[in-house]
């Protein structure tokens, strides 16, 4: 029953947030410029379902080289730095939008490592925790 509830919550999250604007590039910097309180609530609930009690306090747009292409994701980190949640972003005319066809990834383990990273379309959690890093992933069913 919990899995069905989680699946329905995630489906509604990605349906509502499809192509939701979250930020922009201004003066060469990635900025969160929109109200993302609905995403914050959804990710808080996602962590609660994983029995993670720490609050997500640091929110940022990350740019990275993904197999020779510049890509972006929204990442939130807990106050203790141990858990990070991320989702892919699309860039259109210097505006960032939540990607329609992607889910989230949660990496938990340690503050210095165990961070979300992507190669192609596959999410990974970086090393550095000596095997204590765990990954959970949600997917969009659209």
How many Cα atoms occupy the beta-carbon half-sphere of 75 within 13 Å? 22
What's the whole-number mean pLDDT along residues 100-125? 88
The whole-chain average pLDDT of the chain stands at 85
Specify the pLDDT at position 13: 45
- Put simply, whether the predicted model's pTM sits higher than 0.85 gets the answer no
Tens-place pLDDT, residues 33-89: 999 999 999 999 999 999 999 999 999 999 999 888 999 999 999 999 999 999 999
What's the whole-number mean pLDDT along residues 120-134? 86
Contact assessment for residue 116 and residue 136, using Cβ atoms and an 8 Å cutoff:
no
What's the CA gap between 99 and 106, in Å, rounded?
Answer: 17
Specify the pLDDT at position 10: 46
What's the CA gap between 41 and 10, in Å, rounded?
Answer: 12
What's the whole-number mean pLDDT along residues 94-115? 89
């Amino acid at each position: 029953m919990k899995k069905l509830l989680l699946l329905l919550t995630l489906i509604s999250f990605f349906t509502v947030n499809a192509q939701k604007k979250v930020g922009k590039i201004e003066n060469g910097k990635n900025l969160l410029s929109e109200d993302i309180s609905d995403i914050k609530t959804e990710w808080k609930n996602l962590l609660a379902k994983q029995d993670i009690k720490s609050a997500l306090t640091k929110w940022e747009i990350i740019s990275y080289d993904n197999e020779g292409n510049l890509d972006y994701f929204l990442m939130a980190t807990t106050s203790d730095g141990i858990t990070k949640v991320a989702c892919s972003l699309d860039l259109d005319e210097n505006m960032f939008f939540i990607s329609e066809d992607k889910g989230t990834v949660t990496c938990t383990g340690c503050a210095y490592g165990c961070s979300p990273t992507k190669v192609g379309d596959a999410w990974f959690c970086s090393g550095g925790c000596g095997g204590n890093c765990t990954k959970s992933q949600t997917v969009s069913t659209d």
